[in-house]
Structure 1
Amino acid sequence: MKRYLSLDLLRGLTIFGMVFSAIIPYGVLPDWMYHIQNPPPAHNLDFSVSGIGWVDLVFPIFIFCMGVAIPFAGSSGKMGVKSIFLRFLMLWIFSYLYVFLDFSTADGWLPQLATVGGFAALFMLYMSKPPYKWIRLAGALLSIVLIIAGVLFFDEKITIYRSGIIIFLLSFIYLFGALIWFYTRDNLKLRFIVFLLILLFASVTMHFSLPVKLYAIKEVRWFFNIEYIYFLLILLPATYVGDILKGRVSLPGGFDSHERATANLFTRIMMFAYLLMFVIWMMIALYTEWSLYKMLFSVSAALIIWLLSKRVFPQYAQISLIASVMISGGGLFLFYEGAITKVPCTVSYCLFTTGISIYLLFISDFVVHWFPASYFSRIFSGAGSNPLMSYITFGALVMPVFKLTGLIHIYIAAYPQGWPWIGVARAAVAVIFTMALVAYLSEKRIFWRA
């Protein structure tokens, strides 16, 4: 089956956002450049702050992409309960390994070299279809040796509490979501019932502040986070979107919604602009205080997208209706919950971000159709098809190499004191360079797979 490049593009942009938001100058940019609940300059978590910004959208969009991809992975016929648990285990191990193998914060050239060695170990462990069977074993042995060396020589601490929280969360979300999809892949009504049960469970447990109470218990939070279940409100609708798209992509000649569009180029451009403006509007509306007029405007605009899709892009109509329902449901739940927050996760946060993710996937379709061979499409779709590598390459390879070669001095000089927006530009260039490196490997058919 051909890859769905629009999904790869959106996933690549999402990973760009994850890495970019982690390396921009801290404490000196406007509030909207960071997680809304971690405002500058101290960036301490403030539960009294509500609203979401672009940084808060990145993680749920990635969950959405993961959900859409599940039916594609299952189309090979190789997905079963055993393979689902195996992939979960590999993701869970990865969430620890890339942290334990990162010694780059230690002084000196040896920790940097060891970090590059750790990247090589992960390369051998997670390479898709290695040419020799012994490569994975060599990667495992090298990982063990480097972790022991880190403890002995670099004062590294090995503990169950030191994991990469994003990959850790994703591993469990994948496990639960993939199992639900597997057992309901031929029964959409049952999957919808499961979605409603999760919605009810989330509403009740959030009302009694169960997430905060559980997270306060250190012995529990290292392994169990109730948000695994909440985020299924994003992933399960995404699997339905994936079911629809998989059927279309598997058609002879693949799927291009624009080839089936009934409107001229100007109308398509207007549709693209409308989608883009609506996403921007939603980001502004959710960043500021929610109100009735914002809800009415947002729901009306989403319904207009659905009606336009039926006329202009009939292939989008079914999925666009899902997005409209999610936006409408998010607005209603926001009034019920009183605020939209990422921490603790609210139902409105899950529903709104699902709807926004669908519209961003539509926008990605436009970009891939109009500019299929552009550097932009190639870089981000290439990086998006290699998500594990894309996520850690900057910290585990690029920065250690910069430190070993002296390029770190140029990197530091590229952010002059008192010019934070130049620091933002530096971060963007550095991450795009990283994405381009991963995209090059993807074009050479070199992938990491859990």
Structure 2
Amino acid sequence: MEKRAYALDALRGYAIITMVLSATVAWNILPGWMYHAQTPPPERTFDASLTGITWVDLVFPFFLFAMGAAFPFSIGKRIEKGVSKIQLVYEAIKRGIQLTFFAIFIQHFYPHILSDPQDMRSWLLAILCFAVLFPMFIRIPVKMPSWAHLCIKIVAYGIAVIMMVTTRYAHERVFDVAFSNIIILLLANMAVFGSVIYIFTINHRWIRIGVIPILMAILLSSRVEGSWTQAVFNYTPLPWAYHFEYLQYLFIVIPGSMAGEYLRDWLKSGTVSTISSANIWQAIGMILLTLALIIVNLAGLYTHATIPNLIVNSMSLTGGIFLLRKGTGFIELWRKLFIAGTFLIILGLCFEPFQGGIKKDPATFSYLFLTSGLAFMGLLLLNIICDYFRCVKSTRFLVMPGQNPMMAYVVVDLLVMPVANLTGIASLLVYFNSNAWMGFLRGVLLTMLAVVITMFFTRIRCFWRT
């Protein structure tokens, strides 16, 4: 395809950048809505009884949604080339294994895991980990036989295994496959199960949607003692890599795959419209409306103003449907995205009283459906900005990290902070803990460094891929 849906890269980039930002701001001096709703300051102790969501709680769902939206492009393109479904399933499983290894490897080489307090050895090992990840995940640009490429990757994986097995960790910790990065591990599971579902339902969208209520039924009935659903829920051949409860995130990935199909159909249709005066006002209206929907739901649910939030949502969603009632090209795409997002937002709000209110952990049905609906709105918003108004240069800081998310995810912990500590610059970060504004600025500066480094490697076509 000559044209690319930059909105999808931008959504993935937004998710990864805010993921880094949320992990690098000052630990406990910012307002509660700057952290996960269930880990409020100043102690930041997890409290499962707390309900509500913050912008931090949207980060992971948005990334999952973008993963699902990429299936029609990656898998769909392979099917069009004649690749068999068996081969695609093999590739999905292979990708899941690689992501699982990635989750285990990086978790073992965070500096605070290697030593406490951190020292030069831990920082150098973290940088070595970052370096080893390159031959493991990049497509080597040098022309050589395929067996040579494979040998390089095998050697890199071998080095990683030796590093994990022989390294001494803090607090007498030893290498353990069950010690992994949970975010990446969940992504690994979604890469396998989400891909397989998409492969076998690529031309049967309603069957794919039907997976959601079946999965929901199993999750709900698994609480019945002695039931077969409980046996399915509890069974795991690899406890360190898979649990049935991970599959609840398919509630986000599957709708994401539908959004990806909308995007791909729109690109393939050849009816991409040009900017017109009529569409401009609709586009501006949708920018304001989609952004307002995200902010209103965050504020309304964080403050537990559920009734006013429902009323404002109902009015806003109705207004959006009215605004997009006519038109083709971009308008047709926006209409599909908005209606799908509207359904999921309403569904999520209807589920809000269930399970004690909306929560990220353990994830409630309200959280899964609502965040999926808001992801539709986020994708629509970015499609207007990136693809309709063609703000390519101004959104490059989102698009380029979105094209290289694995690197962006670890670059602060495995490169930026170790280098900062080795050079003595890290000691200056203590001055950013004086107040909330400085604490936020700390996160912004570290995130900017992560973005710049990732953009550099993306620009030279150095991508980490599974």
TM-score, length-scaled by structure 2? 0.87
CA RMSD of aligned residues (A): 3.0
Aligned to 1:270: 285
Letter in 1 for 2:105: L
Residue aligned with 2:465, SS:
coil
Q: d(CA) in 2 for partners of 1:367 and 1:84?
A: 32
Compared CA separation, residues 124 and 409, structure 1 to 2 (3 A): same
Cα deviation code 1:323-381 (max 9, x no counterpart): 1110111121123444111111111111110110011111112321436342x411221
1:18: which partner in 2? 19
Deviation at 1:29, TM superposition (A): 1.6
Residue 53 of structure 1 corresponds to 54
In 1, the alpha carbon distance for the partners of 2:461 and 2:243 equals: 36
AA aligned opposite 1:382 = M
Q: Which is further off, 1-10 or 286-295?
A: 286-295
In the alignment, which of 110, 113, 128 is matched to residue 124 of structure 2?
A: 113
The alpha-carbon deviation at position 115 of structure 1 amounts to 1.4
> Would the aligned equivalents of 1:98 and 1:122 in 2 still touch at CA under 8 Å?
no
Partner residue of 2:37? Answer: 36
Decide which moves more: 170-179 or 221-230.
221-230
Distance 1:335 1:154, change over 3 A: closer
Taking the aligned partners of 1:93 and 1:231, their CA distance within structure 2 comes to: 20
Say yes or no: does 1:143 pair with 2:160.
yes
Secondary structure of 2:325's counterpart equals: helix
> Partners of 2:307 and 2:224 in 1: how far apart?
22
After superposition, the Cα gap between the structure-2 partners of 1:108 and 1:334, relative to the gap in structure 1 and judged at 3 Å, is: closer
User: How big is each residue's C-alpha offset from its partner over 1:247-271, in whole Å with a ceiling of 9 and x where there is no partner?
Assistant: 223456xx85x62767253443233
Q: Which residue of 1 aligns with 2:218?
A: 201
Letter of the aligned partner of 1:280 in structure 2? I
Please list, as runs of the form range in 1=range in 2, the aligned pairs for 1:308-387 lying within 5 A after superposition. Answer: 308-311=323-326, 313-369=331-387, 370=389, 372-374=391-393, 376-387=394-405
Whether the aligned pair in 2 keeps the contact of 1:203 and 1:347 (CA below 8 Å) is: no
Tell me, yes or no, if the aligned pair for 1:212 and 1:344 is still in contact at 8 Å: no
Q: Could you tell which deviates more after superposition, 439-448 or 107-116?
A: 107-116
Q: Is the 8 A contact 1:103 1:150 kept in 2?
A: no
Alpha-carbon distance in structure 2 between the residues aligned to 1:259 and 1:32: 40
For the 8 Å contact 1:120–1:139, the answer to whether it is kept is no
- d(CA) in 1 for partners of 2:370, 2:246: 17
Identify which range, 297-306 or 8-17, moves more after superposition. 297-306
The structural deviation recorded for 1:407 is 2.4
**Conserved 8 A contact 1:206-1:346:** no
8 Å CA contact 2:25–2:439 kept in 1: the answer is: yes
1:404 to 1:119, Cα distance in 2 relative to 1, 3 A: same
Change in 2 beyond 3 A, CA 1:217/1:159: farther
Report deviation, 1:293: 4.2
Note the C-alpha offset of 1:152: 8.0
Name 2:309's counterpart in structure 1.
Answer: 294
Amino acid at match of 1:289: H
Please identify, of 97-106 and 84-93, the stretch whose mean Cα deviation from structure 2 is larger: 97-106
The 1:218/1:42 distance shift into structure 2, 3 A limit, reads farther
* Aligned: 1:126 with 2:137: yes
Gapped runs of 5+ residues in structure 2? none
Match of 2:298 in 1: 283
Alignment-derived partner of residue 100 in structure 2: 92
Change (3 A) 1:314 1:124: same
User: Which residue in 2 is equivalent to 1:442?
Assistant: 458
CA contact (8 A) 2:108 2:175 kept: yes
1:80 corresponds to 2:98: no
Sort the Cα spacing of 1:262 and 1:187 in 2 relative to 1 into closer, same or farther, 3 A: farther
| 1:95 shift after superposition | 0.6
Counterpart-to-counterpart distance in 2, 1:45 and 1:351: 23
Change over 3 Å in CA distance of 1:220–1:36 after alignment to 2: farther
Letter in 1 for 2:158: L
Instruction: Give me the whole-angstrom Cα distance separating, in 2, the residues matched to 1:428 and 1:215.
Output: 41
1-structure distance, mates of 2:66, 2:52 = 23
Mark the CA change 1:43 to 1:198 in structure 2 (over 3 Å): closer, same or farther: same
Mapped to 2, the partners of 1:59 and 1:23 lie a distance apart of 16
Task: Select the residue among 173, 177, 184 that pairs with 1:167.
Answer: 184
* Change beyond 3 A, Cα 1:280–1:301: same
TM-score by length of 1: 0.90
Alpha-carbon shift at residue 153 of structure 1 (Å): 9.8
What amino acid sits opposite 2:179 in the alignment?
R
- Cα contact 1:202–1:347 (8 A) shared by 2: no
Report which stretch shifted further, 389-398 or 264-273.
264-273
The aligned residue for residue 437 of structure 2 is 421
Matched residue SS, 2:77: coil
1:67 aligns with 2:56: no
**% identical equivalent positions:** 26
In 2, the alpha carbon distance for the partners of 1:40 and 1:212 equals 37
Q: Partners in 1 of 2:255 and 2:335 — Cα distance?
A: 15
Match of 1:179 in 2: 196
Note the C-alpha offset of 1:207: 9.4
CA contact (8 A) 2:263 2:333 kept: no
Aligned residue for 1:372, secondary structure, equals: coil
Q: Report if aligned partners of 2:236, 2:242 keep a CA contact under 8 Å in 1.
A: no
CA distance in 1, matches of 2:276, 2:46: 46
Aligned partner of residue 395 in structure 2, secondary structure:
helix
Q: Which moved more, 1:38-47 or 1:308-317?
A: 308-317
**Distance in structure 2 (CA, Å) of the matches to 1:37 and 1:30:** 13
Q: 1:249 is matched with which residue?
A: 267
Mean Cα deviation higher: 150-159 or 191-200: 150-159
The change in CA–CA distance for 1:155 and 1:47 in structure 2 (over 3 A counts) is closer
Q: Distance in 2 between matches of 1:270 and 1:372?
A: 17
Q: Distance in 2 between matches of 1:323 and 1:226?
A: 26
CA shift at 1:102, angstroms?
A: 3.0
CA contact (8 A) 1:51 1:288 kept: yes
Aligned residue for 2:40, secondary structure, equals: coil
CA contact (8 A) 1:385 1:442 kept: yes
